[in-house]
Structure 1
Amino acid sequence: MKVVTHSGRFHADDVFASVVLQAALGPIDLVRTRDARIIGEADLVFDVGGVYDPEARRYDHHMRDLPRRADGTPYSSVGLVWRDYGRDALPQLVPDIEAETLETVWQEIDNDLILSIDQADNGIGPVSPGHLALLVEAFNPTWDSTKPYDTAFGEAAETARGVLVRACRQAHASARAAVLVLAAARQARDPRIVVLDRKLPWEKAVYEGGLDEVLFVIYPGEEGGAWYCRAVPPEPNSFGQRLSLPETWRGLQDEAFSKAAGIEDGVFCHPSGFICGARSRASTVELAERAIALGAGRAG
């Protein structure tokens, strides 16, 4: 398949669009040119040509009536390509992705990485010195360089692929974690306590999965030897808790904490009352149950 984009100086949108298409379509013959004849003969064109027609596989966005997202944000070429080819690209970027998480991963990448490039390319979002768009543009040859633009584009694309692969795999891990947290919540003996068999990011599942009753999340430490009882904040990034741990436990450790909490193998309770721990799963669950029974410090 012959795929065409513009020659010369490149930006993050055309570089990332090429990476998405390589993953979605397999080996492609990518040509960088502004020759109207070559553009007209191509199987797919992006970021050049003056035509936006998805049915004809034409994905330029440099026109007065430019394509926009549902919220009015203008697309860049990678936004258009990700919209139509991102789902096909994901199995190559994340080989073990499951059918049930594919849409979630596609959406997260679109909401974060792809949208930020759309905004930067169209001049409607803040672009700090460390912004991904500027880092990709830095691959363009300097004024005194003899390096061909196509060579530099290939180097930029290799880096962009690494970024996209990592972002997709992180989004996949987050989606898988949400599935596990929701499954644990369904199996919970008490809907206010979710017990996980490993440490993983649970916040997104709690807030986006409708787990409004959950007060505490129980999970093992990464290196073993302890289990933790974490109070759930009332909202993302909050320093409060839906239900704080009892005042009488806070700041205590080991024997003193065990005695105050009424268990045998307590480890600690943080002075702020948002987390405590014990050496066994059973005791840590008991800590959550006792905190609920005491009903102390409910966030307002």
Structure 2
Amino acid sequence: MKVVTHSGTFHADDVFAFSVLREAVGDFPFTRTRDASVIASADLVFDVGGVYDPARGRYDHHMRDLPRREDGTPYSSVGLIWRDFGRPAIERLVPGIGEDVLDAVWQDVDSGFILAIDQADNGIASARPGHLALLVEAFNPAWDSTQSYDDAFLEAADFARGILVRACRQAHAEARALSLVMAAAKASHDPRIVVLDSKLPWEKAVFEGNLKDLLFVIYPNEDLTSWYCRTVPPEPNSFGQRLSLPEAWRGLQEAEFSRAAGIEDGVFCHPGGFICGARSRKSAIVLAEKAMAEGA
């Protein structure tokens, strides 16, 4: 399959589009050009050519009637390529991924940073310093560089692949975490408490899984030497609490906290009242139960 994009200065959308395609279909003859005859003879063209027609392998977006997402956001070349080739790319980037989470991972990456590139490339959102789009564009050769644009493009594409790998694998881990949290919630004897066997991202499951009765999440630290009792926020990314830890515990540590909470192995209670800890799973659960009893 012969693939073509434009020559010269590159941006994040064409670099990432190339990286996604390379994962989805493997190695292919690739040309960066604006020669109309070469473009016409290619099997797949992206970000150049003035034609959007997936049936013919044409993925440009630089036209008046440009392709848009369902919400009206204009696509860039990476958004279009990700839409049609993202799933097979994920299967290679995340070996062994199950069909049950493939769509969730695709959606997470799409809404996470593919959309941001679409927006920046189309001027919908500004690319401020540190934006991924600007980091990729920094691979373009400086005016006095002897490096060719084509070599720089491939170097940028390797950088982009690293980001794709991490993004897809983190999205996969989050999808697996969501499944584990939901299973723990289902197995819990009290819908207000979920006990997890490992530290993992649980907040997404609370809101996407509609765990509206959940008040506390119990989980161990990384080396299993202590267990946390964490309050559940009222909305995502908030330090608020559906039910705060008792005022009398806050800011206390070790023996002083243990006495106030009525356990033997307390570690601490944060002054903000959103997390506390003990050295055993049993005591962490007791902390949640005591907090609920006092807050009733």
Q: TM-score range by the shorter chain?
A: over 0.9
The answer for the alignment partner of 2:99 in structure 1 is 99
Deviation sequence 1:250-273 (CA, Å, 0-9, x none): 222223322222222222222221
Quote the offset at 1:281 in angstroms.
0.7
CA gap of 1:59–1:254, structure 2 versus 1, over 3 A, is same
CA distance in structure 2 between the partners assigned to 1:145 and 1:254 by the alignment: 60
Q: Letter of the 1:138 partner, please give it.
A: A
SS at match of 1:219: strand
Name 1:290's counterpart in structure 2: 290
Q: 1:185 aligns to what?
A: 185
Extract unaligned runs of 5+ from structure 2. none
Whole-angstrom CA distance in 2 between matches of 1:197 and 1:7: 52
The answer as to 2:150 corresponding to 1:146 is no
In the alignment, the residues of structure 2 paired with residue 43 and residue 229 of structure 1 have an alpha-carbon distance, to the nearest angstrom, of 56
Partner of 2:65: 65
Using the TM superposition, give the Cα deviation of residue 145 of structure 1 relative to its aligned residue in structure 2, in angstroms: 2.1
For 1:154 and 1:75, the matched residues in 2 are separated by 23
Q: Percent identity?
A: 72
Secondary structure, aligned partner of 1:71: coil
For the residues of structure 2 that align with 1:266 and 1:134, how far apart are their CA atoms? Answer: 48
Q: What is the aligned length? A: 296
Structure 1 match to 2:244: 244
Match of 2:216?
A: 216
Aligned partners of 1:15 and 1:96: how far apart in 2?
26
Inter-partner Cα distance in structure 2 for 1:140 and 1:189: 58
How far residue 38 of structure 1 moved from its aligned partner, in angstroms, is 1.4
Letter in 1 for 2:36: A
Per-residue CA deviation, residues 111-139 of structure 1 (Å, 9 max, x unaligned), is 12111111111111021121111111111
What secondary structure is seen at the aligned counterpart in 2 of 1:268?
strand
Q: What does 1:114-263 correspond to in 2, within 5 Å?
A: 114-263=114-263
Q: Give the Cα separation in 2 of the matches to 1:68 and 1:216.
A: 42
Shift of 1:177: 1.1
Q: Quick one: distance in 2 between partners of 1:175 and 1:10?
A: 33
Separation in structure 2 between the aligned mates of residue 131 and residue 287 of structure 1, nearest angstrom: 42
- Which SS does the other structure have where 2:197 is aligned? coil
Runs of 4+ in 1 over 3 A off after TM superposition: none
Amino acid at match of 2:205: A
Q: C-alpha distance in 1, partners of 2:222/2:139?
A: 39
Tell me how far apart the structure 2 counterparts of residues 149 and 279 of structure 1 sit (CA, whole Å): 57
The answer to whether structure 1 residue 44 and structure 2 residue 44 are counterparts is yes
Q: Distance in 2 between matches of 1:175 and 1:105?
A: 7
Q: 1:75 maps to which residue?
A: 75
User: Please, what is the CA RMSD of the aligned residues?
Assistant: 1.2
Which ranges of structure 1 fall in alignment gaps of 5 or more residues?
none
